[in-house]
Structure 1
């Protein structure tokens, strides 16, 4: 399916390099990267981009840390973990863009329909998440803890590649998953499960994935870095428009990208979907593409990594410590002029509403406490 797209801007000066390798995982969160490749946007900006596909976040993490990728799609906690070396491997990184907000769901096996109504009902269930360093894991844990469960003891949280989740659900190896689309909608289409809730029901406007660039690449090739952001920004703004969503689904469905039924992808992107419980929904921001890298996103992620022992607490005594840590990674200075030129919102979010509570980045320390009700 051909789409006549015209770049909104020009390359940023003389490109130091044109060949760029970018990693991605085939989920709808990667839409801005996929569409930039599929619609020839990278090429219009003079870039020769290779999209390197990975089926899981662990292998992508390893490849990025090893220097095999210049840039990559990443779950937002991942560049924080890699830059600050919270886990294996370190590489200085910049996060200029959020590739998507919302776009996830909790899907449960059909046998649980009518039995699971709230977090308390998850006791003794096995729930898959795509990675430890993921918003999926952190949001699920917060949801369960607020329901009085200890996520480390009362629920089996299992890391699994997104592409394996539907099959595992279908054969009963897991009871459900909190995962990216299109796999939630695919489970519904196959009759393997139903949507318990969208992730936006927990935190409307939450971040999922980011576009992360190796610091040495951005430093050595500043014009290429800026041009990459222009191309991806152009793609994100185009993809976010409602009248482009169905076209994007067709473009992204091919084997080189998502390799999924375009009708399943369209249900996610357009927000016109069935939940597997007999109800049709119209949710135009089931997933959205608003790239500005808000500090609230990263500070909350850091507090939750600490809360669940995925990041150290030492050296974090005040809001300024959290702000300093995330500012080493976030790069709004590179993103802002591009997004403003495209008419996208660049106003910094001051607070977030997460499962009915207000997260204020000026007071992050209480959010590092486990708060599990015995």
Structure 2
């Protein structure tokens, strides 16, 4: 691997050197399920150990932080860390979770920060933290440094299609539907929605369409719709397809409004999904509190990956104070890797379920720099970022990633929490990635990847 994927900047060395050199093993206590959990308002009883066990060297500078989230399964580590007492266990006793109406609202709120009534960070699609840091999606193009701290989840997303398109070949492989969808563009274009432009769910649907021979900017109509409004918009016929996280795609099937053409787990097995990222100024001011937040999330991720806990997790998440679902069962089956796709196809495979801590390829939680690079390359592919980000072996993209991706803080937190060395990646690249259409992304050769793609806006 190149030096980029293992370098530590002077700034990161200073952060690490300022932290305690000791690594204290803090044993997780998962405890017993809370009583009287329902699909309505739920308050799980904290089960983690007392904050009195925190060493003075690891005591957070502040116990207060405000984190934003969107009500989809990617937010589960934040919610579980609060409800099960994992944040409090590491000294963060006043973590406020703020439900965001949309990704645009989350961006606006992180711009002003908690001191202005907004948020300090939270759950993000990628590469939103990089775009905010560059001032590319902020008001007045103001640059607000953000730090990516961990990946929250893999899988848990799907591409849903309106029932009126049943039997037309609109599935994972689009070859048989290509002509039909192209013909529609001259009258009523096939309309596909995502929750925010230039990021995960936009990129998933674009990759899927392009792999099927369709130009997402010429052959279909794309629009932005908040996640919680996707089911209603498909029901009224506003859109033909959407890409977002559970519970919404599966709820559409349960409500008999549509079917699932593909899971993102089928498009790219064990793919990067959403991340925890925070304002850089908050992290720089509160390095020990940042690691305490990370330790709470790491413990929540491990708790979530115990499938015996997932029924309880579904009940907590479904509550009125979080996802406000009519029943926890909308989450319970996908959480076990069970999907009724709505078109006669059924999936019963735990490897297709959402994972938070580890998957078949290793760590989910650790934020690999190579994954940041893929998101940036895809932004260049579709003309969202200028191609100079990828020129000269992606030198500009790598410079940005080194500023934003703080995998060094993740490692410090993991060591302090007593995470086994085998679960702490030693390389910031996960290596070559392969997609469902056979295309491979080698992070050492980003220009080659881009040039090998048939449908794109630019070439290097």
With the length of structure 1 as denominator, give the TM-score of the two structures: 0.94
Deviation at 1:345, TM superposition (A): 5.0
- 2:355 pairs, out of 288, 298, 313, with 288
Work out whether residues 70 and 100 of structure 2, in 8 Å CA contact, stay in contact via their aligned partners in 1: yes
- Verify: 1:109 aligned to 2:162, yes or no: yes
The 1:373/1:299 distance shift into structure 2, 3 A limit, reads closer
Deviation at 1:192, TM superposition (A): 0.6
Residue matched to 1:52: 98
- 2:75 pairs, out of 23, 26, 30, with 30
Deviation at 1:225, TM superposition (A): 0.8
CA distance in 2, matches of 1:109, 1:220: 48
- Verify: 1:372 aligned to 2:455, yes or no: yes
Partner-residue secondary structure (3-state), 2:281: helix
Deviation at 1:172, TM superposition (A): 1.3
CA distance in 2, matches of 1:65, 1:313: 27
Residue matched to 1:326: 401
Higher mean C-alpha displacement, 344-353 vs 358-367: 344-353
Deviation at 1:368, TM superposition (A): 4.0
Residue matched to 1:243: 308
Higher mean C-alpha displacement, 338-347 vs 327-336: 338-347
Alignment of 1:1-374 (within 5 A): 1=37, 2=44, 5-6=47-48, 10=54, 13-47=58-92, 48-67=94-113, 68-88=118-138, 89-115=142-168, 116-117=170-171, 118-120=173-175, 121=177, 122-123=181-182, 124-260=189-325, 261-284=327-350, 285-289=352-356, 290-314=364-388, 316-319=390-393, 321=395, 322-339=397-414, 341-343=418-420, 344=423, 346-348=425-427, 349-355=430-436, 356-368=438-450, 371-372=454-455
CA distance in 2, matches of 1:315, 1:168: 36
CA distance in 2, matches of 1:172, 1:299: 36
* Deviations 1:90-132 (CA, angstroms, capped at 9, x unpaired): 2101111011111111111111111124335244311111111
Partner-residue secondary structure (3-state), 1:101: coil
Higher mean C-alpha displacement, 7-16 vs 348-357: 7-16
Work out whether residues 380 and 389 of structure 2, in 8 Å CA contact, stay in contact via their aligned partners in 1: no
Deviation at 1:358, TM superposition (A): 1.3
Q: Please list every run of 5 or more consecutive structure 2 residues that lacks an aligned counterpart in the other structure.
A: 1-36, 38-43, 183-188, 357-363
* Deviations 1:246-293 (CA, angstroms, capped at 9, x unpaired): 111111111111111210011222222321123432132421112110
Q: Please list every run of 5 or more consecutive structure 1 residues that lacks an aligned counterpart in the other structure.
A: none
Partner-residue secondary structure (3-state), 2:304: helix
Deviation at 1:309, TM superposition (A): 1.8
Higher mean C-alpha displacement, 1-10 vs 102-111: 1-10
Partner-residue secondary structure (3-state), 1:328: helix
The 1:310/1:3 distance shift into structure 2, 3 A limit, reads same
Higher mean C-alpha displacement, 337-346 vs 3-12: 3-12
The 1:162/1:80 distance shift into structure 2, 3 A limit, reads same
Partner-residue secondary structure (3-state), 1:258: coil
Higher mean C-alpha displacement, 71-80 vs 323-332: 323-332
Deviation at 1:175, TM superposition (A): 0.6
CA distance in 1, matches of 2:435, 2:54: 39
CA distance in 2, matches of 1:7, 1:306: 47
Residue matched to 2:22: none
Work out whether residues 86 and 312 of structure 1, in 8 Å CA contact, stay in contact via their aligned partners in 2: no
CA distance in 2, matches of 1:219, 1:34: 24
Work out whether residues 146 and 373 of structure 1, in 8 Å CA contact, stay in contact via their aligned partners in 2: no
CA distance in 2, matches of 1:366, 1:130: 29
Partner-residue secondary structure (3-state), 2:391: coil
Residue matched to 2:27: none
CA distance in 2, matches of 1:279, 1:144: 20
CA distance in 2, matches of 1:137, 1:148: 17
CA distance in 1, matches of 2:340, 2:414: 34
Deviation at 1:146, TM superposition (A): 2.5
